[in-house]
Amino acid sequence: MSWDIFIQDFPEVSSILEVPADHRPKPIGERDAVVARIKEAIPFAEEQDRDWLFIRNAYTDISIQLHFEDGKQVRYMVAHVHGGDQSAACIAGLLCHLHLRAHDTATGDIFDGDTLDESL
């Protein structure tokens, strides 16, 4: 199992095809605050450098890349799920904690933590 999940300010739609062409996502927040919130949700998340966090244990294998708008504001994040039978649940928890939605590039679906939890 390997897939990418784009995490950002998505509108309340169920598919990426339903996102209005004029939708302009808001930044997620300042880098340090976003990283602190990620670590609240996932205490074992480790910073690799300014742009990357790694979430790895016996059940989870995720890398999260932060993408910046101006060097300080995180515009969006990409979670690269490399494996782990609890990685989907970990992403669901993170989405709930951050009050954000995500785009599953494998399916085209947009989901939040509640939607992902229902599919587990």
pLDDT tens-digit series, residues 51-106 = 999 999 999 999 999 999 888 899 999 999 999 999 989 999 999 999 999 998 88
N- to C-terminal Cα separation, the chain: 15
Count of beta carbons in the 10 Å neighbourhood of residue 71: 7
Model confidence at 115, in pLDDT bands (50, 70, 90)?
low
* Burial of 51 per CB tally in 10 Å (0-12, 13-18, 19+): middle
Helix (H, G, I), strand (E, B) or coil at 16: helix
Average pLDDT of the chain?
90
Ordered structural domains, the chain, with CATH: 3-11+13-119 (3.30.310)
pLDDT digit string (tens) for 8-63?
999 888 888 999 999 999 999 999 999 999 999 999 999 999 999 999 999 999 99
Question: pTM value?
Answer: 0.87
